[in-house]
Amino acid sequence: MLRADAAHFEAVAAACEALRAAGLEAVPHVPASRFDDDAHAGRVLDELSAAGATSALVVAGNDFDGSAPDVDAVAALARKRGFRCLFAGFPEGHPHDSSGGARLAAKLAPAGAGVVTQFVRDPAVLGEWLDGARPAAETGNVRLHVYPFGGLDAALVFLDALASKGILWEPGGFGAGG
């Protein structure tokens, strides 16, 4: 298993401080697979908090083999320290997690949690996935970061397709239409 050394997390904390100084919000990636145990994860989260981070993208890590704290344990440690937790979502599926939206909905249940998705190429898949991933019929805002692969025209076609599926543009993000 790959472990990040102290210098790695020191660099992440320095980046958080620089972003905060520039008036931006830092959202460091916090891969559970990089920690030896809960105490190690807690120390890193404390350092990130001291550096000004208030949110964290908590992920298992592609090399997670079960010997490190799991993503839920790291998220609990982050919440205990006041972090808003974001989680990775995979609308088009993930080779190591077949539970899809149900597991994500459980992670999102605590107030203030959010999701960052991987690339999505099919607007219909995104709409169905959002419906399955939302806890307890919550509609909430969906904020998209659109990668204009294929050019701006292709990105606009994608956004139009989302709007036709009831995911409408609103100031500050996308929301569920109705």
Q: What is the pLDDT of residues 141-163, one digit of tens each?
A: 555 656 666 777 887 787 787 77
pLDDT digits (tens, 9 = 90+) for 99-131: 656 666 677 666 667 777 766 777 777 777 777
Q: Which residue shows structure tokens 């990668």?
A: 147
Distance between CA atoms of 173 and 88, rounded to whole angstroms?
18
From the CB of residue 156, how many other CB atoms can be counted at a distance below 10 Å?
12
Q: With both helix axes pointing from N to C terminus, report the angle between 123-133 and 101-108 in degrees, rounded to the nearest 10.
A: 50
pLDDT digits (tens, 9 = 90+) for 44-98: 999 999 999 999 989 887 776 777 788 889 999 999 999 998 887 777 777 666 6
At residue 157, φ and ψ (nearest 5 deg) are -60, -45
Distance between CA atoms of 85 and 71, rounded to whole angstroms?
11
